[in-house]
Amino acid sequence: MRFTLLVLSAPDFGCANRHALRFARAVIDGGHELACVFFQDRGVLTALKDCESAQAEEDLRSAWQGIARDGDADLAVCSASAARFGVADGRRADNILDGFALSGLGDLVMARGDSDRFLTFAD
């Protein structure tokens, strides 16, 4: 089964980002396919470079990079939201972590059509 996830919450706020990560890991471990994880609104802060997690706190950003590696999944970052939150400037992706890529909302539409299941994660 192919899944697309929409993540709207930042990694440092609430539980939704972590829940999405856990779900993505379960999808991969269960032998399913992760078509796309689309980060929109404050969720784009997941892709922000040079953020350090507090000591003894799980580093969700590097865990998402692991999802991209292990699941061969697209980690798509909404370009409009990225510009709003200072994660990217237009199509320049200097501030974006490896494994993530700037995308448009059209990619969300395509991913939804290409998936059997679509889930939103938001606090």
Partner 1 sequence: MPSQETLVRIAAAPYAGTRARAGLDAALAFAAFGQPPAVLLSGPGVLALPPRQANSSHGTPSLRKVLDSLPLYDIDTLWVCAASLERHGLADLELPAYAARADSALLRRLLSEASAVLSF
The residues assigned a catalytic role are 78
Q: Which stretch binds partner 1 (CB under 8 A): 47-55, 59-67, 76-84, 89-97?
A: 76-84
Q: Which stretch binds partner 1 (CB under 8 A): 27-35, 38-46, 66-74, 89-97?
A: 38-46
| Nearest residue to 36 via CA among 27, 45, 22 | 27
**What are the percentages of helix, strand and coil residues in the chain, rounded to 5?**
40, 25, 35
Q: Closest distance between partner 1 and the C-beta of residue 42, in Å?
A: 7
- Pick out residues in 1-30 that bind partner 1 (CB under 8 A): 6, 8
If the CB atoms of residues 4 and 65 are measured against partner 1, the closer one turns out to be 4
107-to-4, 36, 62, 98, 113 alpha-carbon distances in Å: 11, 9, 23, 19, 10
Calpha distance 82→21 (Å, rounded) = 20
Which parts of this chain interact with partner 1 (CB under 8 A)? 6, 8, 40-42, 80-81, 84, 104-106, 108-110, 112-113, 115, 118, 120, 122
